[in-house]
Structure 1
Amino acid sequence: MTPSAGADGALIVAQSSGDVTRPTFFEIGPVGKAIFYMLAAVAILIFLHGVYERFSRYARGSDDRRERLADLPGRLVDAVTIVGSNRYQFDRDLTAGVMHAFIMWGFLTLLIGTTILGIDMDFYRPLTGESFWVGDFYLAYSFVLDAMGLLFVVGVGMALYKRYWKRSERLWGKHTGLEDDLFVWTLFVLGVGGYLLEGVGIVGRGFPDHETISFVGYFLALAFDAGGLSAGGAQSIYPAVWWLHSLHALAFVAAVPYAKPFHMLSSFANVVARDEDAGARLPGVPADLDATNAESLDDFTWKELLDQDACTKCGRCSSVCPAKASGRPLDPRDVILDLKSYRESLDAGETEEKPIVADGGASVIDSETMESCMSCMACMDACPVEIEHLNSFTRMNRQLTDQGDVDPNVQDVFQDVMQKGNTFGDPQRNRADWADPLEIEPTDAREEDVEYLWYVGDYPSFDERNKKVARSLAKLFEAADVEWGILFDDEKYDGNDVRRIGEEFLYLELAGHHVETFEDCEFEKIVCTDPHSYNTMKNEYPELEFEEFADDPMMPFDYDERWNDDGEIDVFHWTQVVEELVEEGRLGLSGDELDYTVTYHDPCHLGRYNDEYEAPRELVRATGCELHEMPRNRDNSFCCGGGGGGLWMEFDEEPKPSEERLREALEDTDAGESIEKFVVACPMCMTMYEDGRKTGGYEDAIEIVDVAELLVEAVTGNVPDELDEN
């Protein structure tokens, strides 16, 4: 059975002329009925075979290290809720959400209606000799199907408008093709064709009074009658219209697994198998030295292959990608679809195997494309079908690292981290020198018990501009009488970004070193300056299976347990800790100390990665500053450009993400040019925006400050520079 916008498109047993019902196979003889059933069986078999082939291909993918199908009943309920509510389709695009809701619920209602009629015709009536599709049930049924079918046609009409008249940019790309046109026009013709069939049938049956309930079909019947179509004429053309509509519907059913309509199944399956923490916690790698990352498609997990088929080409990921907006050679949609196209061509024998990713070679994906990714997770956040772009991207970055196809600047960073323990290449003995101007000596957490073990991070430790932020935070801790300590030269780089650009084993070394160090210290909580450190220590260190690597002579750690697997140790970003201190009144703020007009930038690793949006804002407001939001804020924030190794690479881009963001702050916020300070809560953001302020010509227009610097000024009455001089 197939969905139809008019009830005549469903197959119903003919009732007596006096019943409140509608005959099906109107003017269709026994031979026609037999032929239809045969064609329907063929269409369903083709459909089932195609679905089987698709899902059997996923089974040939490698195992996924996540428990993707654990608690399957719960996952199914969650997926039905997400898909049924169209929650993600409404995100950032109300029109697209309404359009998709109309199409999906219209289609599903018609499918359910056709199934009900099939049950009545093929099972209930043969068993009981009666039909339940009569009387009040028929009237209610006909009204609902006409109404929902109308929404379906309106929704498809909106899709046609967006695609062809408005020509929405994000719907077009290198993978836009004939199948996209066929899909949307097939749906439109199915919906309109069902109503045309219904209208012709009502005319042919002499306008039964009860058919007024089918208000769309009845309206068309009146139009046909006004146009001169007689009952006899309708009866003569009805079989042709019926067959055209039926064959169209059956062809659609058969084609579902072989073209774009398959996303109706694969997208739902993808939502079922989603990892809610994807991106924030990357999957690890096996300790097997023979294991490969992305030498071939066989290395991709079944979920990553499913991601490729779940893509609907909607372009939401492309429209929010800061790399694409800056002119870098990355379009997240194209990467996913390039992999899919290669897989399908390979399976069909239309192409020979080639490298998945390589530097300047004849590969599926070019290394420059992957280097462009900022790991901001905007693509994943915008995707309505839960595609986990970052997992596939990291897999390919790991392959580039294995092959040595890494940007020279990044390779230098790897060397600095391996030899010196930090991304600056500075001696580790200088790691705590940032604290020299302070009046107090930081506590050595390796020797004394503390409440907060403060992981300072590379940029606050070695970068001159961010050292001021570290000192500001230290002053806040002291003012609030917090017991804190640092690791001095036992603190190394946290590893978050080298992991995202492919250096998994270096990341493991760093993580292993830190968890061993943590085990030797006595503290209650960990607090991080950098959202990147916060993310990896909170979400990824507890996921690492150190025991797999503990016996590896190349790994400089002996730790063989899961660290913080039970979440006993809380890991915080500093804004979360200080917000509590402010609420407790330990910083003595009254809320009117400062009167700057400011805007705030959400760091990707604090916001999208970890859903922390309010703590920094509450701290800004606590100083008395007038906070104005940029149009792109919270989960829609635009990346500074520093993530995913962007801080260490040079790109030919126009404009730079940091320049675009500063322009937005001064031109698109409600306060406009009145914005005095651009507030950040991430050392990498600080570095990128200070650079963007210079290259974009904004040095005299706006000042870049950290939330901690605003707080110190509010608490002491002095700006951080003046404090450092005293």
Structure 2
Amino acid sequence: MAVQGTVTRPTFWGIGHVGELVFYLLSAVAILTFAYGVYRRIERYTTGQADRIDRLDDLPRRVVDAARVVLSNRTLLDRDVVGGLMHAFIMWGFLTLLIGTTILAVDMDIWTKLLGQPSFFVGDFYLSYSLVMDAMGLLFVVGLGVALYRRYAARKWRLWGKHTGLEDDLFVWALFLLGVGGYLTEGVRILGTGFPSFETVSFVGWFVAEVLAAAGMSAATAEAVYPAVWWSHSLLALAFVAALPYGKPFHMLSSYANVVTRDEKAGARLPGIPADLDADTGAEAVEDFTWKELLDQDACTKCGRCSSVCPAESSGRPLDPRDVILDLKAYREQVEAGESEEVDIVADGGTSVIAAETMESCMACMACMDACPVEIEHLTSFTRMNRQLTDQGDVDSNVQDVFDNVMRKGNTFGERPEERADWTDDLDFEVADARETDVEYLWYVGDYPSYDERNKRVARSLARLLERADVDYGILFEDEKYDGNDVRRLGEEFLYVDLAGHHVEQFEAVDPEAIVCTDPHSYNTFANEYPEVEYEEFADDPLMEFDYDGEWNADGAVDVLHWTQAVEELVAEGALGLAGDELDYTVTYHDPCHLGRYNDEYEAPRELIRATGATLAEMPRNREDAFCCGGGGGGLWMDHDEETKPSEERMREALEDTDAGDAVEKFVVACPMCMTMYEDGRKTGGYEDDIEIVDVAELLVEAVEGAD
């Protein structure tokens, strides 16, 4: 031992054999309590519904990928570098201390006592061990100090909410006291054993010992108080281990499991539904959620990152994505404990866990999921609740009108299908009918470019670009219907399946090399969701108006492109004859959610803007951090009582927060819904004289035709 000159430390110094036995007994109790708690959690997940997505396929790869995400703290560093570093210090410090404790247990209990080998916890190994443990433990304490400052001194708003409670305080303070208590225990031991010279490697503990000595504590006093200090630290550590599965600390395990089982296309593709039209696909009761949705609830750390980026929350709508997940968790736990009578999960009026207006506030922008460091799939649960609202008939009246329009007329406007291609009448060339002639590119125009006057101008601009580049393209005329992306996110799943079946029949008949979409919403659902539909399960249903019974594009043989991707290739080939200096505007660009966060396409529209010669000034919130226009998830069709519309806030950001400031002349979009929302926001926000809303296609046409 150190007191006898050996380079090591006495683990149970001053504790005695009886104390050692008591410690092992309490350790066994703590470990068993921990194991039982984890078992109960897992058992609870098995009561959830099966997930229609295989969450455990290629498990070794999933485990390794999740380890990379968690250990790198990559998701935590995004948007909040201080918070990310803080968490990295805490996590790496905690893991190091855990590994160090495990090494010590292996030496004491297995290597020496069980196998009868001489201890390896001596000499250079001990010195290296002590140095690493002190260094990483210091990071642990520093990280927790920052966490305490942000929570209690700075009172960072997103860390507080209606679900903030005593367990949050106990969690952070228990960790902090564990870290500080470890150093106090070490310092008292170093002082009590007479400052062995080799213990200088334990630089933090040595510093604590010197402070205690300077404060008047003698070696004899240190030796006398050491058992009390040691037991205080040990009991807190064992209590923490035992309590870990029963409260917020469980996220240390559930978060990693959540990352392992994530769907990399979550949000972009929603879980499918069984072909049985009477099947329960909503959220009538707690038991209707899948095991993954239950795991999502337990993985939530209450960090509020989803709240801080949610455009609905910032606009004053009654939606906080964190609260929705935690409301569901709290209700589930109350029901399981017999502390609450069962009520509706979601409803319009009356007593329910989640109010209908809360779900109606969601813009399906996926910002919450992108910001979540533990891969909670909010939209999966939100869509389940929207399905329940649809089943109950509790949808917004404007949304119900849209559903009726789509069912009767095939479009969200309720206009005659025969008028769908009337926008082409003002062109000085004919647009090919893809049903009658072979085409290389099938252009899916979409509802808004077909029927909305402002977006018709965008459609005509894109047509002129395709014509100029001599592209072999055509459209479906009246056989084109609404794509279904947003009605699906509003819960009208079977209408969506009917639309998908209709379109894949048309796609198969045309057999194009590629499908080009004007709208990112169409692009998303064609690329990510139409191939997931099991058409054969629905084809014979009398309520479905299609006969297609095969898979569609499961192998990706047909390219699905947003028009900016297709035209970027044409520009790169020189098909539009741009020199790159045609326009001298200063513009900013808004990333559509369904093109950017949903499908990771950020550069194609920017390359097209640069190709015109325009100067692109980025807004602070751009690419994956872009702020939603407010139109997704049915927001385009609903009236919300909000002080500042998301579109108005984005106008303000464009003119006030870009480096170019009010020199920005044009606000460029690449989505028909964004066009509609921002034209409205420009008027209601009083920005009509300050900035112009244009589509990338209109900017390109001006450059191309102006160069003639």
TM range (shorter): over 0.9
Pick aligned residue for 2:398 from 406, 409, 413: 409
Residue in structure 1 matched with residue 51 of structure 2 by the alignment: 64
Q: Check conservation: 1:399, 1:502, Cα contact below 8 A.
A: yes
Pick aligned residue for 2:195 from 185, 204, 207: 207
Amino acid at match of 2:406: V
Tell me if 1:172 matches 2:154: no
Tell me if 1:429 matches 2:446: no
Pick aligned residue for 1:473 from 453, 456, 462: 462
**CA–CA separation in structure 2 for the residues paired with 1:379 and 1:88:** 12
Tell me if 1:104 matches 2:96: no
Q: Check conservation: 1:75, 1:272, Cα contact below 8 A.
A: yes
Residue in structure 2 matched with residue 724 of structure 1 by the alignment: none
State the Cα distance separating 1:550 from its structure 2 match.
1.2
Q: Check conservation: 2:582, 2:707, Cα contact below 8 A.
A: no
State the Cα distance separating 1:129 from its structure 2 match.
3.6
Residue in structure 1 matched with residue 8 of structure 2 by the alignment: 21
Residue in structure 1 matched with residue 111 of structure 2 by the alignment: 124
State the Cα distance separating 1:225 from its structure 2 match.
1.0
Q: Check conservation: 1:445, 1:522, Cα contact below 8 A.
A: no
CA displacement 1:669-689 (0-9 Å, x = unmatched) = 011111110000000000000
State the Cα distance separating 1:288 from its structure 2 match.
2.2
**CA–CA separation in structure 1 for the residues paired with 2:512 and 2:556:** 14
Residue in structure 1 matched with residue 277 of structure 2 by the alignment: 289
Residue in structure 2 matched with residue 75 of structure 1 by the alignment: 62
What does residue range 335-346 of structure 1 map to in structure 2 within 5 Å?
335-346=324-335
Amino acid at match of 2:287: D
What does residue range 587-626 of structure 1 map to in structure 2 within 5 Å?
587-626=576-615
Residue in structure 2 matched with residue 543 of structure 1 by the alignment: 532
**CA–CA separation in structure 2 for the residues paired with 1:369 and 1:79:** 32
State the Cα distance separating 1:27 from its structure 2 match.
0.6
Tell me if 1:527 matches 2:527: no
Residue in structure 2 matched with residue 255 of structure 1 by the alignment: 243
Note closer, same or farther for the CA distance 1:402–1:505 as it changes in structure 2 (3 Å cut).
same
State the Cα distance separating 1:104 from its structure 2 match.
0.1
Q: Check conservation: 2:389, 2:395, Cα contact below 8 A.
A: yes
User: What is the SS of the residue equivalent to 2:440?
Assistant: strand
User: What is the SS of the residue equivalent to 2:594?
Assistant: coil
Q: Check conservation: 1:547, 1:559, Cα contact below 8 A.
A: yes
State the Cα distance separating 1:196 from its structure 2 match.
0.3
User: What is the SS of the residue equivalent to 2:599?
Assistant: coil
**CA–CA separation in structure 2 for the residues paired with 1:215 and 1:685:** 58
State the Cα distance separating 1:139 from its structure 2 match.
0.1
Pick aligned residue for 2:220 from 227, 232, 247: 232
User: What is the SS of the residue equivalent to 2:162?
Assistant: coil
Q: TM-score, normalised by structure 2?
A: 0.99
After the TM superposition, which of the residue ranges 514-523 and 454-463 deviates more from structure 2? 514-523
CA displacement 1:646-697 (0-9 Å, x = unmatched) = 0000000120000000000000001111111000000000000000011000
Residue in structure 1 matched with residue 232 of structure 2 by the alignment: 244
What does residue range 645-724 of structure 1 map to in structure 2 within 5 Å?
645-717=634-706
User: What is the SS of the residue equivalent to 2:200?
Assistant: helix
Residue in structure 1 matched with residue 559 of structure 2 by the alignment: 570
Residue in structure 1 matched with residue 151 of structure 2 by the alignment: 163
Q: Check conservation: 1:450, 1:523, Cα contact below 8 A.
A: yes
**CA–CA separation in structure 2 for the residues paired with 1:667 and 1:259:** 44
What does residue range 300-315 of structure 1 map to in structure 2 within 5 Å?
300-315=289-304
Residue in structure 2 matched with residue 496 of structure 1 by the alignment: 485
CA displacement 1:439-468 (0-9 Å, x = unmatched) = 111111011111100000000000000000
Tell me if 1:95 matches 2:87: no
Residue in structure 2 matched with residue 150 of structure 1 by the alignment: 138
**CA–CA separation in structure 2 for the residues paired with 1:505 and 1:387:** 26
Residue in structure 2 matched with residue 45 of structure 1 by the alignment: 32
Number of residues of Structure 1 aligned to a counterpart in Structure 2: 706
User: What is the SS of the residue equivalent to 1:523?
Assistant: coil
After the TM superposition, which of the residue ranges 681-690 and 550-559 deviates more from structure 2? 550-559
User: What is the SS of the residue equivalent to 1:357?
Assistant: strand
Q: Check conservation: 2:2, 2:196, Cα contact below 8 A.
A: no
Q: TM-score, normalised by structure 1?
A: 0.97
State the Cα distance separating 1:16 from its structure 2 match.
7.2
Amino acid at match of 1:542: P
Amino acid at match of 2:615: E
Q: Check conservation: 2:3, 2:193, Cα contact below 8 A.
A: no
**CA–CA separation in structure 1 for the residues paired with 2:321 and 2:32:** 35
What does residue range 434-513 of structure 1 map to in structure 2 within 5 Å?
434-513=423-502
Residue in structure 1 matched with residue 505 of structure 2 by the alignment: 516
Tell me if 1:372 matches 2:382: no
User: What is the SS of the residue equivalent to 2:674?
Assistant: helix
Amino acid at match of 2:142: V
**CA–CA separation in structure 1 for the residues paired with 2:278 and 2:34:** 39
State the Cα distance separating 1:304 from its structure 2 match.
0.4
Amino acid at match of 1:202: I
Tell me if 1:632 matches 2:643: no
Tell me if 1:349 matches 2:338: yes
Unaligned runs of 5+ in 2: none
**CA–CA separation in structure 2 for the residues paired with 1:402 and 1:231:** 74
Amino acid at match of 2:422: D
Amino acid at match of 2:13: F
Amino acid at match of 1:669: T
Tell me if 1:222 matches 2:210: yes
**CA–CA separation in structure 1 for the residues paired with 2:124 and 2:278:** 68
Amino acid at match of 1:392: S
After the TM superposition, which of the residue ranges 516-525 and 263-272 deviates more from structure 2? 516-525
State the Cα distance separating 1:718 from its structure 2 match.
8.8
**CA–CA separation in structure 2 for the residues paired with 1:166 and 1:450:** 61
Q: Check conservation: 1:712, 1:718, Cα contact below 8 A.
A: no
Residue in structure 2 matched with residue 722 of structure 1 by the alignment: none
Amino acid at match of 2:60: P
State the Cα distance separating 1:706 from its structure 2 match.
0.3
State the Cα distance separating 1:429 from its structure 2 match.
0.2
Amino acid at match of 2:59: L
Unaligned runs of 5+ in 1: 1-13, 720-726
Residue in structure 2 matched with residue 182 of structure 1 by the alignment: 170
User: What is the SS of the residue equivalent to 2:352?
Assistant: coil
Q: Check conservation: 2:297, 2:328, Cα contact below 8 A.
A: yes
Residue in structure 1 matched with residue 632 of structure 2 by the alignment: 643
**CA–CA separation in structure 2 for the residues paired with 1:24 and 1:473:** 76
**CA–CA separation in structure 2 for the residues paired with 1:169 and 1:709:** 42
Residue in structure 1 matched with residue 23 of structure 2 by the alignment: 36
**CA–CA separation in structure 2 for the residues paired with 1:400 and 1:143:** 59
State the Cα distance separating 1:519 from its structure 2 match.
1.0
User: What is the SS of the residue equivalent to 2:168?
Assistant: helix
**CA–CA separation in structure 2 for the residues paired with 1:644 and 1:265:** 32
State the Cα distance separating 1:15 from its structure 2 match.
6.9
Amino acid at match of 2:112: R
State the Cα distance separating 1:128 from its structure 2 match.
2.8
State the Cα distance separating 1:226 from its structure 2 match.
1.2
**CA–CA separation in structure 2 for the residues paired with 1:15 and 1:235:** 14
Residue in structure 2 matched with residue 723 of structure 1 by the alignment: none
Q: Check conservation: 1:665, 1:675, Cα contact below 8 A.
A: yes
After the TM superposition, which of the residue ranges 629-638 and 558-567 deviates more from structure 2? 558-567
State the Cα distance separating 1:219 from its structure 2 match.
0.6
